[in-house]
Chains A and B, each alone.
Chain A
Amino acid sequence: MRTRRITPWLFAGPALFLLALFLVYPSIETIRVSFYNWNSTTYVGFQNYISAFTEPSMVNVFRNNAIWVFVFTLFTVSLGLILAVLLDRVRYEKIAKSFIFIPMAISMVGASTIWKFVYAYKPPSAPQIGLLNAFVVALGGQPVGWLIESPWVNNLSLIAVGVWLWTGFCMVLLSAALKNIPKQLMEAARIDGANEWQVFRKVTLPLLWPTVAVVMTTMVVFVLKIFDIVYVMTNGNYGTEVIANLMYKQQFTFQNYGLAAALAVVLLLLVVPMMVLNIRRFRRQEEIR
């Protein structure tokens, strides 16, 4: 195609300018700010990073992010996989899939509101209006403060909201990969006398594995930055704080820009290895296709 030399820059220029302004420059500036004091006037070296890793309350924050990464990823991916494999065998696959995918259209704020109501707590004397506590009481138990009891009950209750939102996403990706596997491979294994579990374990799963790995890393990257659910449901109280919510608080509530910037950089450093892994896998898959 014949074009004047200036033309490519007219086409790509606006995008490049905005990317420089909103992503490149701020990232470099945030790294600089992270080495300065709260209002960016005095250089403090690694002091913000030292506080980010040594303050007693920070241990909880990193523990919570670790729980999120582990439990959330485990449940979304394995439930997604189970659903993809089982739904492949039934006639109502399409409708069931849209039921489970619907939460993806709902904002995390909306989902948090929905689930806060599921977790609603009333004293034992009053009628329970939250679904979960009504269930517990009907079984003869005492109502539970799902969002209060730390650290396991409330953190897992928050994670359940994330699982509800994102299982459909994992299911759809894994299901698409499953449909790409030639059915003859499974048939051949069955003819050789393999039972359904062996077919899944020895044929389906190995062939699905590259997709499972991509979905897993995608979930890890996403959940490391988890913010909305925690912000809306507990705002990090009762021992549910996570890095992204703490960074928001440091920036706006405490106006400690140095520490907020250091937390952002920590988030970046946690995300980068997973993203690199993901993009490399993604490209390898594209090549195969």
Chain B
Amino acid sequence: MRMRAVRRLFSRVPIHAVLVTIAIIWMLPTLGVLVTSFRAPRDVYGTGWWTVFAHIGRTGQFTISNYVEVIFKQGMGRAFLNSLFISVPGTVIPVTIAAFAAFAFSWMKFRGRNILFMIVVALLIIPLQMTFIPVLRIFNKLHIAGTFPGIWFAHTGYGLPLAVYLLHNFMSSLPRDLFDSAAIDGATTLQTFLRIIVPLSVPAIASVIIFQFVWVWNDLLVALIYLGGSPNVAPVTLKIANLVGSRGQDWQILTAAAFVSMALPLVVFFSLQRYFVRGILAGSVKG
């Protein structure tokens, strides 16, 4: 019996070795960036970041001056606020509009309902690239290219198919009795929606909100197309892409900037991990 336990332990060593190796490989790049963002430029160019561990107790080798530099002098602070100002409305507007539409598609009878819903789902297929030229021409005519409202509208349009689809899936699975009892109580459609359906749909809505928020926060392409020429409204992603171009060798700047941009999504990830994973998985069908 004892022999078998020992043999079992040894037969599992390769599994642990593989898993631990992969986990370490996965963490190393991020660790390197984290360490580098706290090192003085002279150290960054002189030695590899891993050398700090040789004398880890020496706290003098670390500095927060890189963060001060990127946030206040390189404009990452401004870009962070811009990202917030893009992502919050870029999440709230589409999810609200989608919730109303999803309710109509799942519980109201109207002409063309099924065909319209199929079209909405089919729109998931369209690569965003298909829309850039005409939408930018519209934006230019309306003078909203390079403005916050322009990008809110864009993220709303692009986020809707997935949000409607996911919320419809959830709402249509709610039991019919809910609506009957609400009708007996004399509730209007709007009251039924706001007081019964929305509260019951919180898990689905939370997943959709997290997915859309992280998607908009991390987006580069849409920002590049509609805000590319306006540095004062640029979000963190656009700002970093520009820094990589202009300060390509200043690793202490780039690493600190990267961490500023990652901070919020990482907080969301660690605090709402379950919803986050669910949201990301559900969002994978996005076009």
Contact = CB atoms under 8 A, between A and B. Distances in A.
Interface stretch (B58-66, B198-206, B255-263): B255-263
Contacts of A96: 19, 23
A99 B27 contact: yes
B30 A114 contact: yes
Nearest to B261: A110
A129 B48 contact: yes
B183 interface: yes
Interface size class of B (residues with CB under 8 A): 35 or more
Contacts of B273: 98
A22 B192 contact: no
Interface stretch (A46-54, A68-76, A150-158, A227-235): A227-235
A265 B130 contact: yes
B1 interface: no
A3 B28 contact: no
B29 A131 contact: yes
A9 interface: yes
B251 A129 contact: yes
B220 A30 contact: no
Given A15-B98, A26-B135, A117 B130 contact: no
A239 interface: no
B23 A99 contact: yes
B80 interface: no
B126 interface: yes
A272 interface: yes
Interface string B273-287: 100110011001101
B32 to A, nearest CB: 6
A61 interface: no
Contacts of B158: 22-23
B126 A27 contact: yes
Contact of B49 (A105, A129, A173, A279): A129
A199 interface: no
B16 A90 contact: yes
* Residue among A3, A90, A268 having the largest count of chain B Cβ atoms under 10 Å: A3
A223 interface: no
A265 B218 CA distance: 25
Given A106-B262, A107-B220, A268-B126, A2 B228 contact: no
Interface size class of A (residues with CB under 8 A): 35 or more
B153 interface: yes
A216 interface: no
B149 interface: no
A115 interface: yes
A29 interface: yes
Interface stretch (A184-192, A201-209, A246-254): A246-254
B97 interface: yes
Contact of A103 (B26, B104, B138, B189): B26
A113 interface: yes
B231 interface: no
A228 B135 contact: no
A15 B160 contact: yes
Contacts of B108: 1, 3, 7-8, 11
B130 to A, nearest CB: 5
B68 interface: no
B130 A30 contact: yes
Given A5-B110, A105-B266, A129-B47, A252 B228 contact: yes
A128 interface: yes
Nearest to B193: A11
B113 interface: yes
B125 interface: yes
A225 B133 contact: no
B123 A11 contact: no
Contacts of A44: none
Given A109-B220, A117-B255, 15 more contacts: A1-B182, A12-B105, A15-B98, A18-B157, A22-B160, A82-B18, A89-B15, A99-B23, A116-B254, A228-B221, A261-B133, A268-B127, A268-B129, A279-B121, A282-B285
Interface of B: 12, 15-16, 18-19, 22-23, 26-30, 32-33, 36, 44-50, 97-98, 100-101, 103-105, 107-110, 113, 116, 119-121, 123-135, 138, 153-154, 156-158, 160-161, 164, 179, 182-183, 189, 192-193, 214, 217-221, 224-225, 228, 236-237, 240-241, 244, 251, 254-255, 257-258, 261-262, 265-266, 268-269, 273, 276-277, 280-281, 284-285, 287
22 contacts: A3-B189, A8-B109, A11-B103, A11-B104, A14-B100, A22-B135, A22-B154, A26-B132, A30-B133, A89-B12, A99-B26, A102-B26, A113-B244, A116-B244, A117-B254, A118-B32, A131-B49, A169-B280, A260-B133, A261-B133, A267-B130, A282-B285
